[in-house]
Amino acid sequence: MAMGTWLVRLLGAALVISVWSTGCCANGRVKTTVAGDFPDGIAVGEGAVWVAVRGNFRDPASPPGFLLRVDPESCKILDSIPVGGRPCSVAVAHSAVWVTNWEHTKVSRIDPRTRAESKVGPVEGRYILGQYKLAADQNNIWVHNCTGTIAKIDPKTGTAQTWSVSHCHELAGIAAGSNQIWVLGKGKLFRLDPNDGKEICSVTVGIHGKDVAFGEGSVWVVNAEPVNGTISRIDPSTNQVVATIPVGGDPLELAIGAGSIWVANMGSKSISRIDPATNRVVQSIHVGKSPRRLAFGEGALWFTSMDDHTLNRLEP
Protein backbone atom coordinates (compact mmCIF):
# COMPACT_ATOMS: atom_id res chain seq x y z
CA MET A 1 0.00 0.00 0.00
CA ALA A 2 1.33 3.42 -0.90
CA MET A 3 2.20 5.68 2.01
CA GLY A 4 -0.20 8.40 0.88
CA THR A 5 -3.13 5.99 0.76
CA TRP A 6 -2.23 4.54 4.16
CA LEU A 7 -2.08 7.98 5.78
CA VAL A 8 -5.37 9.07 4.27
CA ARG A 9 -7.04 5.98 5.66
CA LEU A 10 -5.41 6.52 9.05
CA LEU A 11 -6.47 10.14 9.25
CA GLY A 12 -9.97 9.32 8.10
CA ALA A 13 -10.38 6.66 10.74
CA ALA A 14 -8.88 8.78 13.48
CA LEU A 15 -11.20 11.69 12.78
CA VAL A 16 -14.18 9.40 13.17
CA ILE A 17 -13.13 7.10 15.99
CA SER A 18 -13.23 9.07 19.23
CA VAL A 19 -14.78 7.15 22.12
CA TRP A 20 -15.46 8.21 25.70
CA SER A 21 -15.09 5.61 28.43
CA THR A 22 -16.18 6.61 31.93
CA GLY A 23 -15.95 3.19 33.55
CA CYS A 24 -12.17 3.00 33.84
CA CYS A 25 -11.90 4.53 37.29
CA ALA A 26 -13.81 6.43 39.92
CA ASN A 27 -12.66 9.96 39.14
CA GLY A 28 -10.98 9.77 35.78
CA ARG A 29 -12.01 9.18 32.20
CA VAL A 30 -10.24 8.12 29.05
CA LYS A 31 -10.72 9.50 25.57
CA THR A 32 -9.23 7.43 22.78
CA THR A 33 -8.21 8.10 19.18
CA VAL A 34 -6.56 5.77 16.68
CA ALA A 35 -2.88 6.65 16.40
CA GLY A 36 -1.45 4.28 13.79
CA ASP A 37 0.48 1.06 13.45
CA PHE A 38 2.88 1.30 16.41
CA PRO A 39 2.37 4.52 18.43
CA ASP A 40 5.43 5.00 20.60
CA GLY A 41 6.97 8.18 22.04
CA ILE A 42 4.73 11.06 23.08
CA ALA A 43 5.15 14.67 24.18
CA VAL A 44 2.89 17.66 24.82
CA GLY A 45 3.69 21.27 23.99
CA GLU A 46 3.33 24.07 21.44
CA GLY A 47 -0.45 23.64 21.65
CA ALA A 48 -0.52 20.00 20.58
CA VAL A 49 0.15 16.39 21.47
CA TRP A 50 2.91 14.81 19.37
CA VAL A 51 3.09 11.07 18.80
CA ALA A 52 5.86 9.10 17.09
CA VAL A 53 4.37 6.31 14.98
CA ARG A 54 6.48 3.58 13.48
CA GLY A 55 5.52 0.81 11.10
CA ASN A 56 5.81 -2.90 11.65
CA PHE A 57 9.44 -3.78 10.97
CA ARG A 58 8.36 -7.38 10.24
CA ASP A 59 6.17 -6.17 7.36
CA PRO A 60 8.10 -4.87 4.32
CA ALA A 61 4.95 -3.10 3.11
CA SER A 62 4.62 -1.13 6.33
CA PRO A 63 5.04 2.63 5.73
CA PRO A 64 8.00 4.66 7.03
CA GLY A 65 7.63 6.38 10.36
CA PHE A 66 5.91 9.69 10.94
CA LEU A 67 4.99 12.17 13.66
CA LEU A 68 1.36 12.94 14.44
CA ARG A 69 0.15 16.34 15.64
CA VAL A 70 -3.03 15.90 17.70
CA ASP A 71 -5.49 18.51 18.95
CA PRO A 72 -5.47 18.14 22.77
CA GLU A 73 -9.14 19.16 23.09
CA SER A 74 -10.81 17.05 20.41
CA CYS A 75 -8.14 14.33 20.24
CA LYS A 76 -8.34 14.59 16.46
CA ILE A 77 -5.24 14.12 14.34
CA LEU A 78 -4.40 17.41 12.62
CA ASP A 79 -1.20 16.57 10.76
CA SER A 80 1.05 13.68 9.85
CA ILE A 81 4.70 14.63 9.37
CA PRO A 82 6.96 12.06 7.64
CA VAL A 83 10.24 11.48 9.48
CA GLY A 84 11.09 8.06 8.04
CA GLY A 85 12.58 5.01 9.67
CA ARG A 86 11.43 4.05 13.15
CA PRO A 87 10.80 7.15 15.30
CA CYS A 88 10.63 6.37 18.98
CA SER A 89 11.07 9.24 21.46
CA VAL A 90 9.66 12.79 21.36
CA ALA A 91 10.35 15.97 23.32
CA VAL A 92 9.03 19.52 23.00
CA ALA A 93 11.57 22.16 24.01
CA HIS A 94 13.28 25.28 22.74
CA SER A 95 10.37 26.13 20.40
CA ALA A 96 10.70 22.86 18.52
CA VAL A 97 9.65 19.22 18.52
CA TRP A 98 12.52 16.72 18.70
CA VAL A 99 12.22 13.14 17.48
CA THR A 100 14.74 10.30 17.73
CA ASN A 101 14.94 7.56 15.13
CA TRP A 102 16.65 4.31 16.00
CA GLU A 103 16.71 2.99 12.43
CA HIS A 104 18.33 6.05 10.88
CA THR A 105 20.40 6.96 13.96
CA LYS A 106 19.30 10.56 13.70
CA VAL A 107 17.45 13.22 15.62
CA SER A 108 14.89 15.35 13.78
CA ARG A 109 13.98 18.92 14.70
CA ILE A 110 10.42 19.80 13.67
CA ASP A 111 9.24 23.40 13.47
CA PRO A 112 5.78 23.27 15.13
CA ARG A 113 4.51 26.15 13.00
CA THR A 114 5.66 25.09 9.54
CA ARG A 115 6.08 21.36 10.30
CA ALA A 116 9.39 21.50 8.42
CA GLU A 117 12.04 18.97 9.43
CA SER A 118 15.75 19.56 9.88
CA LYS A 119 18.11 16.78 10.85
CA VAL A 120 20.54 16.86 13.75
CA GLY A 121 23.47 14.52 14.07
CA PRO A 122 23.94 11.77 13.18
CA VAL A 123 23.95 10.63 16.78
CA GLU A 124 26.74 8.12 17.25
CA GLY A 125 25.83 4.57 18.14
CA ARG A 126 22.77 2.55 17.33
CA TYR A 127 20.17 1.30 19.74
CA ILE A 128 19.61 -2.15 18.29
CA LEU A 129 16.67 -2.80 20.60
CA GLY A 130 14.78 0.14 19.16
CA GLN A 131 14.85 3.06 21.56
CA TYR A 132 16.71 6.30 21.75
CA LYS A 133 15.36 8.48 24.54
CA LEU A 134 15.33 12.26 24.83
CA ALA A 135 15.55 14.78 27.64
CA ALA A 136 15.68 18.56 27.60
CA ASP A 137 16.82 21.26 30.00
CA GLN A 138 17.05 25.03 29.78
CA ASN A 139 20.15 24.89 27.58
CA ASN A 140 20.35 21.63 25.64
CA ILE A 141 18.70 18.55 24.21
CA TRP A 142 20.07 15.24 25.49
CA VAL A 143 19.91 11.84 23.80
CA HIS A 144 21.10 8.41 24.86
CA ASN A 145 21.45 5.08 23.13
CA CYS A 146 21.91 1.63 24.60
CA THR A 147 25.55 1.29 23.59
CA GLY A 148 26.60 3.50 26.50
CA THR A 149 26.86 6.92 24.85
CA ILE A 150 24.94 10.17 25.23
CA ALA A 151 24.73 13.19 22.97
CA LYS A 152 24.45 16.83 24.01
CA ILE A 153 22.74 18.86 21.27
CA ASP A 154 22.79 22.64 21.01
CA PRO A 155 19.18 23.52 20.06
CA LYS A 156 20.27 26.71 18.27
CA THR A 157 22.95 25.26 16.02
CA GLY A 158 22.06 21.58 15.95
CA THR A 159 25.65 20.60 16.70
CA ALA A 160 26.16 17.56 18.92
CA GLN A 161 28.83 16.41 21.34
CA THR A 162 28.95 12.69 22.12
CA TRP A 163 30.32 11.15 25.32
CA SER A 164 30.68 7.62 26.59
CA VAL A 165 29.35 6.68 30.00
CA SER A 166 32.11 4.89 31.90
CA HIS A 167 31.54 1.26 32.90
CA CYS A 168 28.11 1.20 31.24
CA HIS A 169 27.24 -0.42 27.93
CA GLU A 170 23.47 -0.52 28.31
CA LEU A 171 21.43 2.63 28.91
CA ALA A 172 17.67 2.67 29.43
CA GLY A 173 16.82 6.31 30.10
CA ILE A 174 18.01 9.88 30.52
CA ALA A 175 16.73 12.83 32.58
CA ALA A 176 17.77 16.48 32.76
CA GLY A 177 16.94 19.47 34.92
CA SER A 178 18.41 22.02 37.32
CA ASN A 179 21.84 21.65 35.71
CA GLN A 180 21.78 17.89 36.35
CA ILE A 181 22.08 14.98 33.93
CA TRP A 182 21.10 11.47 34.98
CA VAL A 183 21.38 8.33 32.84
CA LEU A 184 19.98 4.93 33.75
CA GLY A 185 22.07 1.81 33.26
CA LYS A 186 21.63 -1.80 34.31
CA GLY A 187 21.17 -1.62 38.06
CA LYS A 188 22.86 1.79 38.26
CA LEU A 189 21.83 5.41 37.91
CA PHE A 190 24.69 7.69 36.85
CA ARG A 191 24.91 11.41 37.54
CA LEU A 192 27.02 13.20 34.94
CA ASP A 193 28.62 16.62 34.70
CA PRO A 194 26.61 18.45 31.99
CA ASN A 195 29.75 20.29 30.86
CA ASP A 196 31.98 17.35 30.00
CA GLY A 197 29.92 14.20 30.59
CA LYS A 198 32.18 12.90 33.35
CA GLU A 199 30.64 10.74 36.05
CA ILE A 200 29.96 12.50 39.35
CA CYS A 201 28.49 9.52 41.16
CA SER A 202 26.42 6.37 40.71
CA VAL A 203 23.39 5.16 42.65
CA THR A 204 22.29 1.53 42.94
CA VAL A 205 18.72 0.99 41.73
CA GLY A 206 16.71 -2.01 40.47
CA ILE A 207 18.39 -4.33 37.99
CA HIS A 208 15.54 -3.94 35.48
CA GLY A 209 15.53 -0.15 35.17
CA LYS A 210 13.31 1.15 32.37
CA ASP A 211 12.97 4.91 32.72
CA VAL A 212 14.16 7.93 34.70
CA ALA A 213 12.66 11.40 35.16
CA PHE A 214 13.47 14.57 37.08
CA GLY A 215 10.82 16.60 38.88
CA GLU A 216 9.26 17.53 42.22
CA GLY A 217 12.80 18.06 43.53
CA SER A 218 13.84 14.44 42.99
CA VAL A 219 14.97 11.86 40.47
CA TRP A 220 12.56 8.97 39.85
CA VAL A 221 13.51 5.57 38.42
CA VAL A 222 11.24 2.82 37.10
CA ASN A 223 12.25 -0.67 38.28
CA ALA A 224 10.35 -3.18 36.15
CA GLU A 225 9.27 -6.50 37.61
CA PRO A 226 6.54 -8.70 36.12
CA VAL A 227 4.38 -8.65 39.27
CA ASN A 228 5.65 -6.09 41.77
CA GLY A 229 7.34 -3.17 40.05
CA THR A 230 8.74 -0.27 42.06
CA ILE A 231 9.79 3.35 41.73
CA SER A 232 13.03 4.52 43.33
CA ARG A 233 13.15 8.13 44.54
CA ILE A 234 16.60 9.71 44.68
CA ASP A 235 17.42 12.93 46.54
CA PRO A 236 19.85 14.89 44.29
CA SER A 237 21.24 16.77 47.28
CA THR A 238 22.60 13.53 48.76
CA ASN A 239 22.55 11.24 45.69
CA GLN A 240 20.82 8.61 47.84
CA VAL A 241 17.66 6.55 47.41
CA VAL A 242 15.18 7.93 49.93
CA ALA A 243 12.11 5.85 49.05
CA THR A 244 11.13 2.71 47.16
CA ILE A 245 7.48 2.77 46.15
CA PRO A 246 5.53 -0.34 45.03
CA VAL A 247 3.45 0.14 41.87
CA GLY A 248 1.86 -2.25 39.35
CA GLY A 249 3.22 -5.08 37.28
CA ASP A 250 5.90 -4.50 34.64
CA PRO A 251 6.09 -0.68 34.84
CA LEU A 252 7.68 0.88 31.78
CA GLU A 253 7.64 4.67 31.91
CA LEU A 254 6.74 7.61 34.12
CA ALA A 255 5.62 11.21 33.73
CA ILE A 256 5.39 14.12 36.14
CA GLY A 257 2.51 16.60 36.27
CA ALA A 258 -0.28 18.06 38.42
CA GLY A 259 1.88 17.56 41.50
CA SER A 260 2.00 13.79 40.96
CA ILE A 261 4.22 11.05 39.59
CA TRP A 262 2.42 8.88 37.01
CA VAL A 263 3.59 5.35 36.16
CA ALA A 264 2.57 3.19 33.18
CA ASN A 265 2.19 -0.43 34.31
CA MET A 266 2.12 -2.58 31.19
CA GLY A 267 1.70 -5.90 32.97
CA SER A 268 -1.25 -4.88 35.14
CA LYS A 269 -2.77 -2.62 32.45
CA SER A 270 -2.95 0.25 34.88
CA ILE A 271 -1.53 3.66 35.72
CA SER A 272 -0.30 4.45 39.23
CA ARG A 273 -0.48 7.97 40.64
CA ILE A 274 2.08 8.72 43.34
CA ASP A 275 1.87 11.60 45.79
CA PRO A 276 5.47 12.86 46.24
CA ALA A 277 4.55 14.34 49.61
CA THR A 278 3.86 10.89 51.06
CA ASN A 279 5.71 8.55 48.65
CA ARG A 280 2.54 6.50 48.31
CA VAL A 281 0.30 5.44 45.44
CA VAL A 282 -2.90 7.41 45.94
CA GLN A 283 -4.70 6.18 42.84
CA SER A 284 -4.46 3.03 40.73
CA ILE A 285 -6.29 3.47 37.44
CA HIS A 286 -7.18 0.35 35.47
CA VAL A 287 -7.25 1.39 31.81
CA GLY A 288 -7.99 -2.01 30.27
CA LYS A 289 -4.96 -1.94 27.98
CA SER A 290 -1.19 -1.91 28.37
CA PRO A 291 0.00 1.72 28.62
CA ARG A 292 3.38 2.18 26.94
CA ARG A 293 4.50 5.83 26.86
CA LEU A 294 3.34 8.70 29.07
CA ALA A 295 3.29 12.49 28.92
CA PHE A 296 1.50 15.14 30.96
CA GLY A 297 0.25 18.41 29.51
CA GLU A 298 -2.81 20.46 28.57
CA GLY A 299 -4.41 19.44 31.89
CA ALA A 300 -4.33 15.72 31.18
CA LEU A 301 -2.21 12.60 31.21
CA TRP A 302 -1.59 11.08 27.78
CA PHE A 303 -0.53 7.53 27.06
CA THR A 304 -0.03 5.33 24.03
CA SER A 305 -0.89 1.66 23.83
CA MET A 306 0.17 -0.92 21.28
CA ASP A 307 -2.64 -3.25 22.35
CA ASP A 308 -5.11 -1.35 20.18
CA HIS A 309 -2.72 1.16 18.53
CA THR A 310 -4.17 4.19 20.28
CA LEU A 311 -3.39 7.51 21.87
CA ASN A 312 -5.37 8.01 25.06
CA ARG A 313 -6.22 11.05 27.19
CA LEU A 314 -6.82 10.51 30.89
CA GLU A 315 -8.38 13.37 32.81
CA PRO A 316 -7.34 13.29 36.48
Tell me the mean pLDDT in the region 69-82: 91
Q: Name the residue with higher pLDDT: 24 or 250.
A: 250
pLDDT at 1: 30
Question: pLDDT tens digit string along 23-65?
Answer: 333 345 667 777 767 899 999 999 999 999 987 666 666 678 8
- pLDDT of amino acid 61: 67
Domain boundaries, the chain: 3-19+27-315
Q: What is the pLDDT of residue 168?
A: 67
* Whether the predicted pLDDT of 215 surpasses 80: yes
Residue 4 pLDDT more than 60?
no
Q: Are 174 and 182 in contact (CB under 8 A)?
A: yes
Residue 237 has pLDDT above 90, yes or no: yes
At the second CATH level, the architecture of 3-19+27-315 is 7 Propeller (2.130)
- pLDDT above 90 coverage of the chain, percent: 60
In contact, 107 and 141? CB cutoff 8 Å: yes
Average pLDDT of 7-27? 31
Q: Which residue has the higher pLDDT, 294 or 227?
A: 294
pLDDT in tens, 185-204: 889 999 999 999 999 999 99
What is the average pLDDT value for the chain, to the nearest integer?
A: 84
Phi-psi map region of 246: left, alpha, beta (phi>0 left; psi -120 to 50 alpha):
beta
Mean pLDDT of 143-162: 87
| Total residue count of the chain as it appears in this document | 316
Q: Note the pLDDT of residue 94.
A: 97
Position 286 scores a pLDDT of 93
Half-sphere exposure of 275 (CA within 13 A, CB side): 6
What was the pLDDT predicted at 85?
Answer: 84
pLDDT category of residue 155 using cuts at 50, 70 and 90: very high
**Residue 131's pLDDT band (cuts 50, 70, 90):** low
b/e for 291-313, b at 16 or more Cβ within 10 A? bbbbbbbbebbbbbbbeeebbbb
* pLDDT band, very low/low/confident/very high, at 241 (cuts 50, 70, 90): very high
Instruction: In whole angstroms, give the CA distance from residue 307 to residue 291.
Output: 8
Q: Give the global pTM.
A: 0.88
Mean pLDDT of 263-282: 97
Q: Is 80 exceeded by the pLDDT of residue 151?
A: yes
Burial class (CB in 10 A: 0-12, 13-18, 19+), 289: buried
- Given a cut of 70, is residue 19 above it in pLDDT? no
Considering only 28-42, 119-133, 233-247, which range has the smallest mean pLDDT? Answer: 119-133
* Per-residue pLDDT at 186: 87
Q: What is each CA distance from 55 to 52, 85, 142, 252, in whole angstroms?
A: 10, 8, 25, 21
At a CB cut-off of 8 Å and minimum separation 6, what does 227 contact?
249, 267
pLDDT at 238: 97
Average pLDDT for 233-238: 98
Average of pLDDT values for 90-116? 91
Summarize the confidence of residues 270-278 as an average pLDDT: 97
Q: Which stretch of DSSP H or E encloses residue 3?
A: helix 3-16
**173 and 144 in contact (C-beta within 8 Å)?**
yes
